[in-house]
Amino acid sequence: MKGKLTFLGISALLAFNNMSCQQSATSKTSTEDSLAASMDSISFKSTIDQKEAYLYELSNKNGVQAYFTNFGARVVGLWVPDNKGKLCDVVLGFSKASDYNNPKEPFFGTIVGPFGNRIAKGKFKLDDKIYTLAVNNGPNTLHGGFKGVHFANWTLKSSDRSSLTFAYTLPDGNEGFPGNIQMEVTYTLNDNNELTIAYRATSDKKTVINLTNHAYFNLNGEGSGTILDHQLQLFANQYTPVDSTLIPTGKLASVKGTPFDFTNLKAIGKEINANDPQLNFGKGYDHNFVLSKEKEGDWYKAAHVVGDKSGIVMDILTMEPGIQFYSGNFMNELVQLKNGKKDSFRTGFCLEPQHFPDAPNQLAFPTTILNPGEVYQTKSLYRFSVK
C-alpha cells in the first residue's frame, strides 16, 4: 500500500492543539487519536461562490499526513517527522476554507496560473495579437491576475489510496488569457515521504501556461519563528536580475560573489539584508534562479533545505528550468494560521519550480506557449527526510 486517501466529507482541518510539532510518528495509534480529537469539520466548512470547499487527506505508512482543499487546489498542511520523531506541520495554512478567500493574502498553498509569476505591464503578444491582462501587482500581472486559478473551485476528478487529481477549466478570456484552458493537478504521496505535484493542461486556442504551487514552508513548523536560520542550497549558477517592479531584465547573471550564491548550503538570512540593489527591489529574495540541470534520475535537482531546529530536510526535484525563491518579505501578520499564530515577517519561504517570469515577453527565455493539440505536462517532487 503506497498511502491512504481520506475524504473528510464535511471539510475538516487539523488544529493540533495550537502546536506545529506533535507526537512521535512511530506511535501511530496515539497519533491518530490525537488527530481525531483535534478535527474541526464545522469551523472549516465554507461555501465559496456557491460551491463547497472540501478537505482531503493523503497519508503513508510513516505517519506523514498531507491535507488539501479543492478551493485553489491547495496544500493546507503537511505533517512530516522531525529528527526526534515528532510530526511537524511544515506548510503554513488556515483552519477555515473561507480564510483562503482573502484578496490580501491569496496565495497560501495554492496552485497559481495560468501563468505563475509576473507578466510585465499585464500584456503579451501572440502572433499578431496583443492580449491585455488583469493588473494586480503594481504595473504587472502576478500569478494569473485577481482570481487566476487560486480563487477557483476545482473539482476532484479522481483519487486512489496514494493520490488525488483536481481539475479546472479557465474560461476563454478570463483575466485576459486566451483559450479554454483545461488544467489538472495531481498530488501523490508515497512511502518514501515524497510528495509529487504533476501538472497537465490543454487549450483550444494558442495561449501561455506556467503552473506551479505557492506553498509557504517553515521546516521548523508552522508558527515557529523566522526562516532566516534555515540552511538553503539552490542548484543554480545563475539567476534572472529584475527591475524595480520585479520584472526580469532579460539577462542571466552569475550568482558567484553575490548574495544570490546558494550553490553551497547557506543560512537564508546570512546576506538577506545586504546593500544590494536586487535585494532592495524585492525587500529580500524574490527572484528566479536558473537551474544548472544537474540530474538525479529523470529529474533536475532544484533545492535542498534544512530546518535548523527540527532537522527536517526538504529536497526539491523538478522538470522545470527555474525555481523562484521568495523569502516571505511581504508577510505582515494579516492572517491567522492553523495553530493560532500570525503570518509574521519572514516566517515562511516559497520555492516555486517554474518557467521564468515574463517569459511571454522575453523571447530568449524558455517558451511558455501552448498550442491547440499540444499537452502541457510537468511535475515537481518534494522529498522529506531528517538530518
Which residues does the annotation mark as catalytic?
214, 352
Per-residue cell: 328: 516571505
* Contact present, 294 and 352 (Cβ < 8 Å): no
Compute CA distances 217 → 107, 111, 213, 229, 321, whole Å.
13, 15, 11, 13, 21
For 85, list phi and psi in degrees, rounded to 5.
Answer: 85, 10
**CB environment 310-323: b (16+ within 10 A), e (fewer):** bbbbbbbbbbbbbb
Measure CA 215 to chain center: 3
Compute CA distances 18 → 31, 64, 83, 289, 339, whole Å.
15, 19, 20, 35, 4
* Contact present, 369 and 206 (Cβ < 8 Å): yes
Q: 171: cis peptide before it, omega within 30°?
A: no
Which amino acid, residue 175?
E
Handedness of CA 202, 207, 212, 216 (dihedral sign): negative
* Contact present, 286 and 327 (Cβ < 8 Å): yes
* Contact present, 90 and 216 (Cβ < 8 Å): no
Q: How far apart are CA 267 and CA 154, in angstroms?
A: 37
Beta strands in 180-321 (DSSP E): 181-189, 194-203, 207-208, 212-213, 231-234, 236-239, 253-254, 266-267, 286-291, 295-296, 299-306, 312-318
Residues whose CB is less than 8 angstroms from the CB of residue 27 and which lie 6 or more positions away in sequence, other chains included: none
